[in-house]
Chains A and B, each alone.
Chain A
Amino acid sequence: QVHLVQSGAEVKKPGSSVKVSCKASGGTFNNFTINWVRQAPGQGLEWMGGIIPIFTTTNYAQKFQGRVSIIADESTGTASMELSSLRSDDTAVYFCAGERTYFYGSGSYYRGGWFDPWGQGTLVTVSS
């Protein structure tokens, strides 16, 4: 069973960038899309975007377009999310989450739409 293990907490200055990693253990993420979800203190869950590692195909929430980049390295089983131009309201716990994805011939695929498993979360604090 695949588990997702994230990198440790970060403290960043406004205007800088942060990169959070997510590594699959106990298996590979070849059957998954890796999504990133964040949660500001006391707030709800917010989807940021996702990547299908075997195709490196990405899609992002409109809110984060141009400011977020999600990459994946199949050989190491690691996905990463980089958020730039950080502001204080980017302070949040960032989660990676696997989404079961089904692959057919000729590069076709179907994303299941549900998120399981989840990483443990990474707190990113943006403060001057």
Chain B
Amino acid sequence: SYELTQPPSVSVSPGQTARITCSADALPKRFASWYQQKPGQAPVLVIYKDSERPSGIPERFSGSSSGTTVTLTISGVQAEDEADYYCQSADSSGTYVFGTGTKVTVL
């Protein structure tokens, strides 16, 4: 089955840059999306189509893609960015998969 692997945790100081990777175990890879989830809340879409940002999402959130790896970058991290982040994509049959999730801690 298609798998998306993320680092379990990322720690960053306020104002610094956090980068979260999401690696697919096979090609081809469809576009990826990223979600932010805070405790007790539903996920929120922060990036779609690898690098597009929905309206209302701060510019400090950006996405990029290279080969089978996509990356979510949070520039100038703020305390409110502390959350779990999940990537998501699909395999060639249209089955959707979420990444393993990354806990971002703001020191």
Contact = CB atoms under 8 A, between A and B. Distances in A.
Interface of A: 35, 37, 44-47, 50, 59, 61-62, 95, 97, 111-116, 118-121
A81 B29 CA distance: 28
B98 A44 contact: yes
B1 interface: yes
Interface of B: 1, 30-31, 33, 35, 37, 42-45, 48-49, 54, 86, 88-90, 94-101
Contact of B33 (A113, A118, A119): A113
Contacts, number: 63
B12 to A, nearest CB: 21
9 contacts: A44-B100, A45-B35, A95-B42, A113-B33, A113-B49, A114-B31, A115-B45, A116-B45, A118-B42
A37 B101 CA distance: 14
Contacts of A44: 86, 98-101
Of listed B43, B90, B101, residue having the most chain A CB within 10 A: B43
A116 B42 CA distance: 11
Contacts of B30: 113
Given A115-B88, A121-B42, A45 B95 contact: no
Contacts of B86: 44-45
Contacts of B44: 116, 118
B55 to A, nearest CB: 10
B43 A45 contact: yes
Contacts of B33: 113-115
A9 B16 CA distance: 40
Contact of A113 (B42, B89, B98, B99): B89
A93 B64 CA distance: 30
Given A44-B98, A113-B89, A114-B88, 18 more contacts: A35-B96, A37-B43, A45-B86, A45-B98, A45-B101, A46-B98, A59-B94, A61-B95, A95-B42, A97-B43, A112-B48, A112-B49, A113-B30, A113-B33, A113-B48, A115-B33, A116-B44, A116-B48
